[in-house]
Chain A
Amino acid sequence: MGPLGVYVIKRTIQLVITLIVIMTIIFALLEALPAKPYQLLMQSPGLTPQQKEAMIKEMGYDKSVWQRYLIYMTNMFTFNFGRSFMTGQSVNYLLFGGYDDVTHSYVYGRLWNTLILFGLATILAYLIGYFLGAIVAWKRGSWLDSGTIVTSLIFYNMPTFWLGLIFIYIFAFELGWFPLRANAWMQYGYFSIAFVKALIMPLTVLLLVSLAGTTLLMRTSMLDVMGEEYIVTAKAKGLPEKRVLYKHAARNALLPLVTSFVIALAFTVAGGVITEQVFTYPGVGLLYITALMQLDLPIVYATLYIITLLVLIGNFVADLLYGVLDPRVRIQ
């Protein structure tokens, strides 16, 4: 087994331990919530004491905390997320899609919804950011450079939800180009104009906000590279400027962008809460926050687990990639 294999195994063990610790913290936090989920449901006046007892049993609250903890951990690691307390829908279907036996309809997996929107936004933000960052760094000191920096800084510090509200007000409410809520497409499916229309506004807002970060990152990275001697050499050789820019400088400045991209991709699912809430986009974030508000713990647990898992794997992959892409790290 080579050194890389040992490294991968070590990191995998570390990942699993971290996952267990985080899941334990989440369990403890949700146990510490001021209200228990069955208390909310039991306020329904028509329930008999037997039904209430059955409800507590069904939710597992007749067992001790330790038993529940063990069941919870087993369920999480076997991807058996159970059913929603509130609607009775299968959480697995909600997250990954499937034919739902409660509403008798096909449910589009919230995870895929989120990955489509945020994956697209992240990829576009990094693609555009790569070129924009490279160009403005190349033309350092010009009005284009300072203009881009100021615009990027403003968008970087702008609250996403506010930008979303403004977009909704202008393009959905006043102009009526897009739907007010980005969830009506669910009855038409992914391959419909309704879905494209629902995507455009959240995508633009996400792009504007994250483009600021990627552009600045690429610009900084480019400036580092541009100080290197091989760029001077390339220029001195009389290579065309475009060739120096894209072949020699930008490609070498890509490294921090790639690792940050992998982590960003992993964090997309986590970052969705606000944007999805503003646009009512049916993704994991919206699922999480609505479930949290109504103490629908199976959904809360499942979404938190999926989000954490993705973040951890993303970090892991980013570390590996860093080693693969940068020979200087590989030696260590």
Chain B
Amino acid sequence: MKSVRWDEMKRSMERAIKTNWSLFKQSKLGMVGLAIITFFIVIAIFAPVIPFTYSPTYLAPAGDLFEIDNYTKTIPTQENWHSPVSVLTPRTSYGKNSMIAGVLLYSSSGKSYFYPRDFSNTTLLRLYNPISRDIPVGMKDMMYLKENTKIIGVTNNSMYMYSVRFHRNLEDVVLDSFLKNPTVVHLPYHVQYFSNVWDYNVTVTSNTHALVAIALAGDHNVTIFMWEYLVANMGGLPYVVAPGLHFVYNFTVNSTIEANPQIRFDTANGHTWVIVPTKSAIEKYNILLKYNYTGGEEKIRYVDGISGKQLDWKYSLDSAGEQLAGSHSVSLVYAQAGQGIKKSRDVVVILCKNNYALGIFANNGTLAWNNTISLNPMDPRIHTLNVIGLHGTIREFTMIYGTTNVGSFVAKLDPSTGMVMDNRTSYLVLKGDINYVSQYDQGARSYYVSTKQGSIYEISEQFRTELMGGVRGIGLNKSFMILGGAATPAVYLGTVFPMSGQTGTYIGVVTKQNTLYLQASGGSRIPTVVIPPFGHGRYSGNFYLFGTDYEGHDIWTWLVYGARTSLLVGLTAAIISVLAGTFIGIISGFYGGWIDIVIMRTVDIILTLPGIVIMLLLAAVLGPNIWNIVLIISVLGWAGIARVIRAVTLSLKNRPFMDAARVAGASNVRMITVHIFPNVLPLTFLYMTFGVAGAILSEAALAFLGLGDPNSISWGMMLQYLRMYAQQTNPNAWGWLVMPGVFITLISLSFYLVGRAFDEIVNPRLRKR
């Protein structure tokens, strides 16, 4: 009995499909739609084996960035190059060895490589074979990363041109430009803080004497060293009397020192002052350096001590002393007065905990301002802010940087007020955590910021506003990914003066594949790097059909995998909403009465809801997740279908065959499932095809408005990333902008076309059109 009925059903199904198919075939547009759907289903299923696709997590390797591999050097892989790459720069004005420049690498195991710069070709950057050295004086086992060893970095110093300097145990060690001839000075205690991390040229006497000093600090000790004794000769070029650190004075403070001390020369009354940030206060000491004249006429002057030290003032931050940050998050910078800059802006900036910043006038040591750094008025998306550090320059461009809830940020600080400059273009949100901010590059007049993802951003001084708002970032001259990620977070930028006098600034990076990349950046005329997004084409052996996005994801791959998301969301949402709508519509029409009233009033309300607005609200409440998006689309989508199905059910209910069934004693369930449901099924199917198109468009819109699932690969998300992160436009990289939209249109169109063709079958009245 059962099998007979089954056979009958199968036969009638086959018959229905056959006749409907022959009707469907008459619609040309319907066939086109079906073909496009088939295409998308095929690429969604066979995504991993489609030609030219990569893995969805694939990132273009760093090698793709460089057009000429002259700039890449393979470095020995057995070394662990965790230390900074440095591009060493000469000082032409000081005469000797002025043309020696190159790239220095050093590793935690004590190996070092120095690649001298080849100046024979002034337009291309070439490096000679490396000079390899072990770091001498038995430092191997103690280098850099070990306890009590602090790398101070590479100095550009008038004496040494460049040198590697580090503190190890109780020693200060300086290696010269060829990593030889260590100068070792014994330190009185374990040094934790330095008066200036980057540059030792802190003048502590008047300009004619050009004496420089540094302050080192431990937990409670501050020690003043003279860095070197210089005299100005008749030609204006200083020469060195005695290199190295020379102890001058040591004093203790009561509270624990928390950050780098700052040493400055008070031009007004000839004193030198030292600012010491401690746990509970910021203390300013005034000292008078004692000169020891030897040789009278030759004006060689030694400093051999201090005639007096007094606590000038003490600025207690608050009673608990909590506003002062721990040692890692306090950063001291100074913003010296440059040409044309008002003296009032010559401020030492001290950054404390809770984004609290103090400014101290650099010429007299009094407090310039104290306030909290906040970005919220600039960007309402920013709710949490953690300022990590700041950098100052001799120009007025002081930059703070840190993390927020939307990404890391860099912002321009106004040295006269200590606030982020009061317009929306003085800050930038970058993707990924910042792990390195370069020294100010005077050639390019910008900072370079690298993030943990491997992006390097060049941030121009002007934070330029005239660049593109929607598609291009503000203030970024350029940014690029070290595709595949940089192994060393460090980037060093230096200015290199080739023979012809043109200036080049170079970024050196060691990638995860242990390759050294050297790339010319701002200020250079050397075209070296292709900045993602890439356009269509082949890059060092990798083929990108539609180019890549800014991170190096292959667009074609994402398009293929995006088809999965679109089909998944579209089909699931359509099936859920259509089935729910059909079921509710039948119930409403069949039973009538108060059930009908309740359901129809609900339908009325849902249909009057402003769709996308409520969708956004629901997405904000539920959270960005692909299944939540399906749920939202379904919740708002069933009502219209229910209304139509109810009307159809009402008309079916009064047909003779329903009366016959009722007389024959059929139950309500049987009448619904056997008699009504098969009759509304074509309509249900019709709405499903339209529903898929609508759901796909809704998903794309939600993703574009920032409420998509960040873990999914979808076409809407691709366009959202484009809007948020495309920092520069590359006319060749049209794929990223054009293709996701084309695919969304095509898939939505195809379902719509199939729906239209199907509509003509269900409603024969339409066919004649």
Contacts and interface: CB of A to CB of B under 8 A. Distances in A.
- State whether these chains interact: yes
A254 to B, nearest CB: 19
Contacts of A160: 701
Given A22-B608, A40-B383, A312-B608, A274 B701 contact: yes
A158 interface: yes
B748 interface: yes
Contacts of B723: 165
Nearest to A137: B769
Given A18-B608, A311-B608, A161 B693 contact: no
B45 to A, nearest CB: 23
Contact of B380 (A154, A159, A161, A294): A294
A160 B621 CA distance: 25
Given A273-B612, A307-B610, A307-B613, A29 B701 contact: no
A156 B470 contact: no
B617 interface: yes
Given A29-B617, A159-B697, A45 B356 contact: yes
Give the secondary structure class of B's interface.
Answer: helix
B384 A165 contact: no
A32 to B, nearest CB: 5
Interface in B726-769: 729, 737-738, 740-741, 744-745, 748-749, 752-753, 756, 769
A74 B386 CA distance: 40
Nearest to A149: B29
A159 B729 contact: no
Contacts of A86: 376, 380
Interface stretch (A89-97, A238-246, A284-292): A284-292
Interface string B713-724: 000100100110
A223 B29 CA distance: 19
B210 to A, nearest CB: 42
Nearest to B619: A292
Nearest to A273: B612
A34 B737 CA distance: 33
Given A267-B610, A288-B613, A45 B355 contact: yes
A43 interface: yes
Interface string B357-375: 0000000000000001010
A115 interface: no
B719 A162 contact: yes
B322 to A, nearest CB: 10
A153 interface: yes
B470 A159 contact: no
Interface string B602-643: 001100111111001110110100000000000000000000
A49 interface: no
B372 A46 contact: yes
B705 A181 contact: no
A271 B722 CA distance: 23
A160 B748 CA distance: 13
A293 to B, nearest CB: 6
Given A86-B380, A153-B752, A312-B608, A223 B769 contact: yes
B380 A173 contact: no
Contact of A166 (B374, B610, B737): B737
B745 A159 contact: yes
Interface in B340-396: 354-356, 372, 374, 376, 380-381, 383-385
Given A157-B693, A289-B616, A304-B617, A277 B705 contact: yes
A166 B700 CA distance: 16
Interface residues of A, number: 62
A43 B382 CA distance: 10
A259 interface: no
A154 to B, nearest CB: 6
Contacts of A210: none
A273 B705 contact: yes
A156 B755 CA distance: 14
B56 to A, nearest CB: 21
Contact of A140 (B376, B381, B716, B769): B769
A312 B604 CA distance: 10
Interface string A168-211: 11001100000011000000000000000000000000000000
B457 interface: no
A217 to B, nearest CB: 13
Contacts of B716: 159
A89 B610 CA distance: 26
A317 interface: no
B741 A165 contact: yes
B111 to A, nearest CB: 45
Interface in B392-446: none
A64 interface: no
Interface of A: 18, 21-22, 26, 29-30, 32-34, 40, 43-46, 86, 140, 149-150, 153-154, 156-163, 165-166, 168-169, 172-173, 180-181, 220, 223, 267, 269-271, 273-274, 277-278, 280, 285, 288-290, 292-294, 296, 300, 304, 307-308, 311-312, 315
Given A22-B605, A44-B372, A161-B705, 15 more contacts: A29-B618, A32-B621, A44-B374, A153-B756, A157-B749, A157-B752, A158-B748, A162-B740, A162-B741, A165-B471, A273-B616, A278-B470, A292-B620, A304-B617, A312-B608
17 contacts: A26-B617, A86-B376, A149-B29, A153-B756, A156-B752, A157-B693, A157-B748, A157-B749, A165-B471, A168-B471, A173-B468, A288-B613, A289-B705, A290-B380, A292-B617, A293-B381, A311-B609
